[in-house]
Amino acid sequence: MLNYDNDLKKTVRLAMFLAFSVVLSMIETLIPLFNGIIPGFKIGLANMMVLAVLYIYGFKDAFTLGILKVILVGILRTGLFSTTFFFSLSGTILSVVLMALFRKITPLSIIGISIIGAISHSCGQIIIAILFFNINMIYYLPFILLFSLPSGILVGYFSKEIVNLYQKRLQY
């Protein structure tokens, strides 16, 4: 027998995570933090929600959240099927898959898993850049990876706090 009350609560919670991730993504696109140093680079604040969902609910829900976030931001901001959309989609798919895999096979903390996510997100974007433009985009990789480390640490730290707050809240 299905527990519709728990299913509904989970769906509402996941919808809230999705809404937060879209809002964070939209806000982050308005902050030209690194434009000029590394064009197009973002810290990835929306990925806090994806990582938190990975730890709270698991791979399937985190993957779904990531894909839905990319689609909604594509509709609202960047345009569906634009170059930016494909950069985001490839980075999201690769990062969620690798974060889930490394979470399962290594003893890394959530911050370590977040660093894996940041690095793999950047690699996914470079793969698409090579496919869309040319092989010379590979030279962009060291620069974007340099910023992936602090970004992964920051996102991981806040994701850990979100997971802790979420788990404390469920105890009441």
pTM given for the model: 0.89
Decide if pLDDT at 2 tops 60: no
Cβ(53)–Cβ(17) below 8 Å: yes
Decide if pLDDT at 23 tops 80: yes
Q: What percent of the chain has pLDDT over 70?
A: 91
User: Predicted confidence band at 119 (pLDDT cuts at 50, 70, 90)?
Assistant: very high
Decide if pLDDT at 41 tops 80: no
Q: What is the pLDDT of residue 169?
A: 81
State phi, psi for 29 to the nearest 5 degrees: -70, -20
Whether domain 4-170 has CATH 3.40.220.10: the reply is no
Decide if pLDDT at 31 tops 60: yes
Q: What is the pLDDT of residue 117?
A: 97
Q: Where are the alpha helices (DSSP H) in the chain?
A: 4-29, 47-56, 59-73, 83-105, 110-132, 141-170
pLDDT tens figures, 78-115: 788 888 899 999 999 999 999 999 999 999 999 999 99
Q: What is the DSSP letter of 38?
A: S
Q: What is the mean pLDDT of residues 11-15?
A: 94
For the chain, how far is it from start to end, CA to CA, in angstroms? 25
Decide if pLDDT at 34 tops 60: no
Characterise 36 by phi-psi region: left (phi > 0), alpha (psi -120 to 50), beta (else): left
Decide if pLDDT at 35 tops 60: no
Domain boundaries, the chain: 4-170
State the residue for tokens 């850049």.
129
Q: What is the pLDDT of residue 137?
A: 85
Rg (C-alpha) for the chain, rounded Å, is 16
Amino acid at 125: Q
C-alpha to C-alpha distance for 57 and 59, rounded to whole angstroms:
7
| Token duo for residue 79 | 């345009």
